[in-house]
Structure 1
């Protein structure tokens, strides 16, 4: 993403307000996802969905790419709409996932994920060490992890069901702390441009939302009790 921003004289958004906006939108996205998932899980959607989950996943990829590639050009209102749409689409696919586990398992996984995520966000906020190298390594590792997981699934390599989510949790530990630190760095790069700060707060919320969702899925796979 291009880090060149337009600067103006007036600065009205404080770092605290900016960070609060990130978490406000991140929590809103998570809430929308889980409300959508639990709402659909209690209907016949899970059993009659057909190709809808696949279509939802394709649309999720489209929205994620659009947000990442067109941050500088799109309006803040467009970003907000796409973020909410992504949260709903994720909830549609989540409804099928959580239907495979007991309600207690899903609740426990959510609470553990929230605690784990919260600790990582604090680390990314207060740690003075530059996490760029760690973030790059973890993102590279995540790419390799996804490719390996697909190969393992296709060729039925019999990898332990505990090993892969544990590896993913380690990778997302670095990624989450890095994403939080990066979001704060963006503030200082665009602190005089209120329009850009609004968009960056949505972008920061989106990246942290993705981190939380993946952490939740990993923990659910580790702790979840299937129906």
Structure 2
């Protein structure tokens, strides 16, 4: 969602093979981040569950955790074009911290709920990503609207903390799925346009690839969280 600007000659037709290679790199980095998160969750659940719960329980530790995640994400986005290697390292650090966060959540979920939520997230993510990269529609104008939608989600979640209620919780969860599904398509569409601007410049391509991997990782994680909320609530109701 950040307005990262890239410089370089705009190529009208850099070739489908170059674009495919670029997105393969993006998804490789994103896949590494997801694997690091999954490995952190596995280690946390099996070996350090009580310690992680103590670390992530309470308002102050949660705020510190989110501030740390926000700071790392901001630094990774800022350094993507200038220093892709540093940005990639920050992405891996972000993945570990996100794994700690997920450990504290997944301890209260059944394996069936987690697996079903993950499969649903992967299917929805792939569908929206495919739409974003294949559509001929320019989605760049949706950036402001989507930013406003994310801000509204944050306000809704804060209200839910003080007001509570199953209906509001479910409405926010479904809205979150819708918003981040659209953001996934938006980010893929934007990454394609960014690649067309820097194609042929290896350093710039690498920076855009890391930047794209971070944003798509965040899209996937947010989708998974909201879908997990929905399935978790449904499971509890049953």
Q: Confirm or deny a common fold (TM above 0.5).
A: yes
The reply to whether residue 172 of structure 1 matches residue 180 of structure 2 is yes
| Counterpart selection for 1:100 from 108, 128, 134 | 108
Structure 1 unaligned regions, length at least 5: none
Displacement of 1:2 after TM fit? 4.9
142-151 vs 200-209, greater mean Cα deviation: 142-151
Structure 2 unaligned regions, length at least 5: none
Displacement of 1:148 after TM fit? 2.4
Alpha carbons 1:40, 1:95 under 8 Å: kept: yes
Give per-residue Cα distances to partners, 1:40-78, cap 9 Å, x unaligned: 0122434554345634433211111112233333x1211
SS in 1 for 2:54: coil
26-35 vs 11-20, greater mean Cα deviation: 11-20
- CA distance in structure 2 between the aligned counterparts of 1:173 and 1:140, rounded to whole angstroms: 15
Mapping for residues 59-74 of structure 1, pairs under 5 Å: 59-73=68-82
Alpha carbons 1:124, 1:181 under 8 Å: kept: yes
| Counterpart selection for 2:128 from 120, 132, 137 | 120
Displacement of 1:133 after TM fit? 2.5
Alpha carbons 1:139, 1:171 under 8 Å: kept: no
36-45 vs 118-127, greater mean Cα deviation: 36-45
50-59 vs 20-29, greater mean Cα deviation: 50-59
The reply to whether residue 58 of structure 1 matches residue 39 of structure 2 is no
Aligned to 2:148: 140
CA RMSD, aligned part only?
Answer: 2.2
Point out the structure with the larger helix share. 2
Aligned to 1:38: 42
**Count of aligned pairs between the two proteins:** 222
Displacement of 1:171 after TM fit? 0.7
Displacement of 1:81 after TM fit? 0.7
The reply to whether residue 18 of structure 1 matches residue 22 of structure 2 is yes
SS in 1 for 2:168: coil
- CA distance in structure 1 between the aligned counterparts of 2:136 and 2:190, rounded to whole angstroms: 12
Aligned to 2:97: 89
Alpha carbons 1:29, 1:84 under 8 Å: kept: yes
